[in-house]
Homo-oligomer: A and B are copies of this chain.
Amino acid sequence: MDGSVAPGCMIGILGSGQLGRMLAMAAARLGVKSHIYAPEPGPATDVAAHFTLMPYDDVRALGEFAASVSLVTYEFENVPSETARIIAEHCPVLPGPRALATTQDRLLEKQFLNGLGIETAPYMPVDDAGSLARAVAQLGRPSILKTRRFGYDGKGQATVREGSDLPAVFCALGAAPCILEGMVPFTREVSVVAARSTDGSFAAWDVCENEHANHVLARTLVPAKIDEDTAREAIEIVHRVVDGLDYVGVIAVEMFAVGDAGGGERLLVNEIAPRVHNSGHWTIDGSVTSQFEQHIRAICGWPLGSPRRLGRIEMLNLLGDDIFRWRDFLVEAGTSLHVYGKNEARPGRKMGHVTRLFEN
């Protein structure tokens, strides 16, 4: 970064979903215009100064897009590496290529974490039905087969149970390169949302406790009900992760808290998301600085904002039909409603969220 990025500039965002939407709105607060690039219109195109609707592999459109902005960021980690490479010929792509390459591949991600001495679920690479059989023999049943690439919200996953037909499970995931993960008997799922800026400065919000339903985040509570030492350790883990990736931007790290023999808890990292994250949506209403503004500050090379929490938090995702309860949430004092503006309330689709802020 050359420091020339200032309010008035335009940034590019790959993706037109709700994360791109909330990024564009946070950018606008700071006087930064957004140019959305995506194959289809979506929640982000309604609030951005410019948008380009073209495929992610259109070299010419990508070049024109990149030439129109000071830098490019993204709302999803599955940005094709070729897309990122084409853009990078014109302007910085942040978070950078190391973060993308590492977090796009579950195997590389786990190897990276273990290399830093950070614990994960036990896992084995699976490249064919034979190696799946060996991995199951090692890790037992139930265990979870996950594609190395392109998984999110439970997509690209299958549980290997007693009696599961292993070649069928492998084929159901497209016979793609996978890893098998051993089951982790966790007591709770937590996440840390944090940011690292171009100068290496670091800021983390309080640890979030997450409840999933059908593999999709349903509810986040902050602070997580873990002891202070564990919370400090969770943030320390993320600090090592972002330093290890030379990361710039907001990151989310999902972890399992597992009861240990001494009655305490230990933490296993489940997944790294190199982007703003659903478990950080509460920061819009419940923190001095939102994760979206923090991401803009970080990628622009500006000072990070305070992650101070304004109260006790409950964030509910509004999935599918939940969105039709919007009026109930408007009636609740101290509850903030966010609606993403998607047309069709398909079952399980993330349509909006609400943040409940309680006095501490």
Interface residues of A (CB under 8 A from B): 6-8, 21, 24-25, 28-33, 46-49, 285, 288-289, 297, 302-303, 305-306, 308, 310, 323, 326-327, 330-331, 333-334, 336-341, 343, 352, 357
Whether the pair B297, A31 counts as a contact (CB closer than 8 A) is no
Shortest Cβ distance from residue A149 to the other chain B in the assembled complex, whole angstroms: 33
Chain copies in the assembled complex: 2
Which 6 pairs show the lowest CB-CB distances between chains A and B? A31-B339, A46-B49, A306-B333, A7-B339, A31-B341, A303-B330
The complex places the Cα of A88 from the Cα of B46 at a distance, in Å, of 26
What are 24 of the A-B contact pairs (CB < 8 Å)?
A7-B326, A7-B339, A7-B352, A8-B339, A25-B28, A28-B47, A28-B341, A29-B338, A30-B339, A31-B326, A31-B339, A31-B352, A33-B46, A33-B341, A47-B49, A288-B333, A288-B336, A289-B336, A297-B330, A303-B327, A305-B330, A305-B333, A306-B333, A310-B310
Measured between alpha carbons, how far is A288 from B343 in the docked complex, in Å?
A: 28
A68 to B333, CA, bound (A): 32
A336 to chain B: which residues have CB within 8 Å? 29, 288-289
Nearest B residue to A289, CB-CB: B336
Contact A333 B308 (CB under 8 A): yes
Residues of B contacting A339 in the complex (Cβ-Cβ under 8 angstroms): 7-8, 29-32
Sample of 14 further A-B pairs with CB below 8 A, known A7-B323, A285-B288, A288-B357: A7-B339, A7-B352, A8-B339, A8-B343, A28-B341, A29-B337, A29-B339, A32-B339, A33-B341, A46-B49, A47-B47, A47-B48, A306-B334, A310-B310
